[in-house]
Amino acid sequence: MGELLSIKNLKTYFYTEDGVIKAVDDVSLTIREGETLGVVGESGCGKSITAMSILKLIPNPPGKIVSGEIIFEGKDLTKATDSEIRKIRGNKISVIFQEPMTSLNPVFTIGDQIIEAIVLHQNMNREQAREKAIDMLKLVGIPRANEVVDAYPHELSGGMRQRAMIAMAMACNPKLLIADEPTTALDVTIQAQILDLMRELKNKTNTSIMLITHDLGVVAEMADHVVVMYAGKIVEEADVFEIFKNPLHPYTIGLLESKPILNQDKERLNSIPGQVPNPLNMPEGCYFHPRCSKAMDICRKEQPKLCSVKDGHKVACHLYKEVK
Amino acid sequence: MAEVKNNLNKGVELKGAKKEDIMSPWKIVRHRLRRNKLAMAGLYILLFMIVVSVFGPIVQKYVFGITMEKIDLYNISAPPSLKHPLGTDEVGRDILTRLMYGGRISLTVGIVAVSISVVIGSIIGGISGYYGGVVDGIIMRFVDIFMCFPFFPLLLMLAAVLSDYKVDPKYRIYFVMVIIGILSWTGLARIVRGQILSLREQEFMQAAEALGLRDRRKIFRHLLPNTFASIIVSATLGIGSAILSESALSYLGLGVTPPYPSWGQMVQVATDYYVMKYEYWKWIPPGVCIFLTVMAINLFGDGLRDALDPKLKR
C-alpha cells in the first residue's frame, strides 16, 4: 500500500483578538491507499481543523496554515493555488459533513447538487451526469433513485440525506474521502447502515477514508489505523487492534475507560476528570498533565515528543521511552 | 442484517407505491397563495390590467379603427358616449385607447425599472454579503451614500437634463425607466446582503466549497436562489412604487411627453380648474387605473410575502 496523503508538521493557528489559538499544533500523519484512518479526540481537539486544512477550507482570516506540508500525490497542497485546490476539492478529495440536515442546499433538488459536482469535475454533459447521479444514488442504497433524484432535501429523512451526501462525495471517484463525524447526527440503526455503506464503498472503489469521530465504537468498526488527538496534538498513534488492546497514553486509556460497556452494572460511566484546557492559555509542559492521574514532575515542565515505543505504535508521554 | 435492510427497503418502497405528489417549494407557495383571497383579487386585477393594456390597443386599432393619435374633430372634449366609452380629450383623442397605451407604458416602466434594480441590487448585495469584511464595508457605505440622495429631486433634475438635451419623446420613456431603476436598487441590495451574510455561514455552503466551486458560482447559483423569496416580494412591491414614480414624473411633465400617453401624464389635465370640475372623464379614469394597479400590486406582494414565509404556519 503506497502513501496517498502525508501531513508533515502541520500547524494551523487562529489569530483571534484575544490571542493565538493553536488549533493544530505540529501534527504529522499518513494515510495509505485503501486505508481507513480514524482520528479520535474530544470536541475542539483539532481533528476537524486538521481535515479542513487538507482542502484549505479553513476560514481565513482568522485561521491560517502557519507551516507544514500536506503532500497529496506528490504535490504540496499548502502551496497549491486556489484554482489547483478547486480541482482537487470534490474530485480527488471529497468531504462528508457532520450535519446531513443542513449540508444540502435547500433550494435545489438532490439530483441538481450531485450533477453539479459531476459536471464540474468530469467531462460529462448534464444528461450523462444525471444518469451517473441516479447510479450513485442506487449505489448508496436509496430506493426509488429515479424519483429521489428530483426530490428536495426537505423531503428526505436524515439517513437518506446522509446517503445522498455520500453519493455526492463519491460521485467523482475520489481518492480520499474525509468523513467529518458522518454519523453523529444520526440515530444508532441508521448509523450502522451508513457505516456499512461506507465500508462497502471503500472496498469497491479502494478509496481511502479519513474518519473523524469521537465515537470509539465507530473507530473499532471502521478504522485500520487510529490517531488520538488532544489539544491540537497527536498523543498516540497505532493500528486499531493495538490501540484497543494495548493503549499507552493515559488520555487514550481514559477515553477507552469512559466507553459504555454492555452487561455491566454501573451507575455512572467513567470520565476523565477536568476539562480540555483553554486553548488561549495552555498549561506548560504536557497539555494533558492537569488531568492526568500519572503526572510526574517532568510533565509539568517539558512537553513530551511523539516517539515510537513499538513497531507502528507511537505515543507522546514521558512514561514511555523511545525504542530504537 | 441483510434481512433487516431488505425489509427496510421494502417499507420505503411500499410507501412510495402510493405515488405521493412531490411538493416542490413553488407548489407550496401557490397553494398558500390561492387561499389568500385579497392577494388573489390583486393578482386578478393586475392580470386584467396587463391583458387589457397588451391586447386592448390591438383590438381598438383593427376592430374600431381607433389609435391613440387619431383625432376625432367632431368630438373634442366629448363626454362618454357609445363611440367613445370614456369620452375624448381636448384634441379629440379617444381616452379609453390612450388609457390602454398608457397602461402599456406604465407597466413596462414598472417592470423594466424593477428588473434593473433587481439585477443591480442582487449582484451588489450578493457580492457584499458573500465577501463580507472590508468589501462589505465599502459597498455598504456606498449604498448609504446612495440612500442619502433625495430620490425625487434627483429624478426631477435628471429628467430636466433629458428635456434640455431634446431627447426624442419616443425614447424618453426608456431613460425614465433606467433612471428609476438605477435610483432604487439600494433597498434590495441591503435585503440580499443581509440574507447572504447569514446564509454563507450555513453548512451547505461549506459543502459547496468542498465541492470545488468558484466564488461566482457559489454566489449566484447557490446563495442568491436562497434569497429569491425576498427578492420576489421586494420586486413586486417595487413595481408599484416605480409606477407611482413614473406617474408623478409624467404628471410634472418630465416623464412621458405627448403624443405618447401615460397615466400620470393624463391626470395632469386636472391642474386645469375647468377640467377638474366639469370634465371628469379626462382625469378620473387614469387616476383610478393608477390606484387600482398599484393597490393590486401591493395586495399581491403582501400575499406573496406571507406565502413565501416558511415560518408562517396556518
Question: What CATH number is given to the structural domain containing A248?
Answer: 3.40.50.300
Identify the segments of chain B with pLDDT beneath 50: 1-19, 314
**Confidence at residue B13, expressed as pLDDT on a 0 to 100 scale:** 44
Contact (Cβ atoms closer than 8 angstroms) between residue B72 and residue B84: yes
What type of residue sits at position A263? N
Inter-chain touch A141–B9, beta carbons under 8 Å? yes
Report CA dihedral (A89, A91, A96, A102) to the nearest 10 degrees: 70
Provide the CATH number for the domain formed by B26-308 in this structure. Answer: 1.10.3720.10
Q: A88 — contact with chain B (CB < 8 Å)? A: yes
| A110: enclosing H helix or E strand | helix A110-121
Does residue A86 share a domain with residue A158?
no
Number of separate helices (H) and strands (E) present in chain B: 14, 0
Tell me if residue A28 falls in helix, strand or coil. strand
Spell out which residues of chain B touch residue A196, defining contact as CB-CB under 8 Å.
Answer: 1
Provide the pairing of β-strand A208-213 with A36-40: parallel
Q: How much is the pLDDT for B172?
A: 77
Using the predicted structure, report yes or no on whether residue A198 has a pLDDT greater than 50: yes
- pLDDT of amino acid A318: 83
Q: Are the CB atoms for A36 and A176 separated by under 8 Å?
A: no
Closest to A104 measured CA to CA, from A173, A147, A164? A164
Helix A158-170 vs helix A126-139: angle between axes, to the nearest 10 degrees? Answer: 130
Same domain, A162 and A189: no
pLDDT at B119: 92
* % of chain A with per-residue pLDDT over 90: 1
Looking at the fold, whether A192 and A240 belong to one and the same domain comes out as yes
A180 with A159, same domain: the answer is no
Residues A200 and A257 both lie in one domain: yes
- Return the residue matching grid coordinates 486556489: A82
B66: CB partners within 8 A, 6+ apart: B60, B94, B97
Q: What is the pLDDT confidence band of residue A1, given thresholds at 50, 70 and 90?
A: low
Biggest alpha carbon distance in chain B?
A: 94
Give the DSSP H or E segment for A286: none
Q: What is the predicted pLDDT for the residue at B12?
A: 46
The domain boundary residue, chosen from A110, A141, A171:
A171
Which residues make Cβ contacts (< 8 Å) with residue A313, sequence separation at least 6?
Answer: A237, A238, A239, A242, A246, A248
Distance CA A129, CA A131 (A): 5
Residue type, A216: L
Is the pLDDT score of A136 beyond 80?
A: yes
Task: Determine the Cα–Cα distance for residues B233 and B242; give it in Å rounded to an integer.
Answer: 14
In tens, the pLDDT along A150-179 reads 888 888 888 888 888 888 888 888 888 888
Contact map slice: B 217-236 vs A, CB within 8 A = 221-222, 225-226, 228
Cell of A229: 488527538
The gap from C-alpha A43 to its chain's centroid, in whole angstroms, comes to 12
Q: Which three cell numbers stand for residue A309?
A: 515505543
* Residue B209 to residue A57, Cβ atoms within 8 A: yes
Non-local (6+) Cβ contacts of A323 within 8 A are A308, A309, A310
> Grid coordinates in use for B62?
383593427
- The SS3 call for residue A237 is strand
Cell of B112: 423594466
Residue from B13, B131, B204, B214 whose CB has the most chain A CBs within 10 Å, to mutate: B204
Q: At residue A7, what is the residue type?
A: I
Report how far residue A122's alpha carbon sits from residue A110's, in angstroms, rounded to the nearest whole number.
18
The pLDDT value recorded for residue B115 is 92
B186-199 vs B95-131: helix axis angle to the nearest 10? Answer: 40
The one-letter amino acid at A73: E
B244 vs B190: CA distance, rounded Å: 22
Report the interhelical angle of B186-199 vs B224-251 (nearest 10°): 170
Residue B24 has its nearest CB partner, among A94, A152, A165, at A152
Interface check for B3 against chain A (CB to CB < 8 A): the answer is no
Is any Cβ of chain B less than 8 angstroms from the Cβ of A85? yes
Identify the sign of the CA torsion B289, B290, B294, B295.
negative
Is A219 found in the same domain as A152? Answer: no
Q: In what order do the strands lie in the sheet with A63-72?
A: A19-32, A3-16, A63-72, A75-76
Contact A309, A322 (CB under 8 A): yes
Q: Is the pLDDT of residue A124 over 90?
A: no
pLDDT tens digit string along A46-67?
888 888 888 888 877 788 888 8
Residues 269-308 of A with CB under 8 A from B: none
β-strand A3-16 against A63-72: which pairing, if any?
A: antiparallel
Q: Using CA atoms, how far apart are residues A206 and B122, in angstroms rounded to an integer?
A: 44
Distance CA A137, CA A163 (A): 8
A-chain residues near B12 (CB < 8 A): 143-144
Q: What is the mean pLDDT of chain A?
A: 84
Please tell me the predicted confidence (pLDDT) of residue B204.
84
pLDDT at residue number B259: 76
Cell numbers describing residue A68: 507544514
Residues A138 and A223 in one domain: no
Long-range contact list for A131-140, CB < 8 A, 24+ apart?
A: A132/A171, A133/A167, A133/A171, A136/A167, A136/A168, A136/A170, A136/A171, A137/A110, A137/A163, A137/A164, A137/A167, A139/A167, A139/A170, A139/A201, A140/A164, A140/A166, A140/A167, A140/A170, A140/A197, A140/A201
Rounded CA gap, A309 and B20, in Å? 61
Q: Are residues A307 and A182 in the same domain?
A: yes
Whether residue A200 is found in the same domain as residue A160: no
Nearest to A94 among B25, B210, B214 (CB): B210
**Same domain assignment for residues A186 and A76:** yes
Residue type for position B35: R
Residue with cell 487538507: A54
pLDDT score of B5: 46
pLDDT at B279: 80
Among A171, A197, A219, where does a domain finish? A171
Q: Is A223 in contact with A29 (CB distance < 8 Å)?
A: no
Residue A324 belongs to a domain: no
Q: Which residue of B has its CA nearest to A103?
A: B204
Which pLDDT belongs to residue B65? 72
Nearest CB among B22, B25, B214 relative to A150 is that of: B22
Q: What is the mean pLDDT of residues A202-209?
A: 86
> How many structural domains comprise chain A?
2
Q: Is the pLDDT of residue A286 over 90?
A: no
- A139 lies in some domain: yes
Beta strands in chain A (DSSP E): 3-16, 19-32, 36-40, 63-72, 75-76, 93-96, 176-180, 208-213, 225-230, 233-239, 307-310, 313-315
The domain in which residue A163 lies consists of 102-171
- A23 and A124 co-located in one domain: no
pLDDT at A324: 54
**Residue finishing a domain among A153, A171, A189:** A171
> Does residue A108 share a domain with residue A60?
no
A105 contacts in B (CB within 8 Å)?
204, 207-208, 222, 225-226
Q: Which of residues 155-214 of B touch A (CB under 8 A)?
A: 202-204, 206-214
Q: B21: which chain A residues are within 8 Å (Cβ-Cβ)?
A: none
- 8 A C-beta contact, residue A286 and residue A298: no
Is residue A320 situated within a structural domain? no
Chain B partners within 8 Å of A89 (Cβ): 209-212
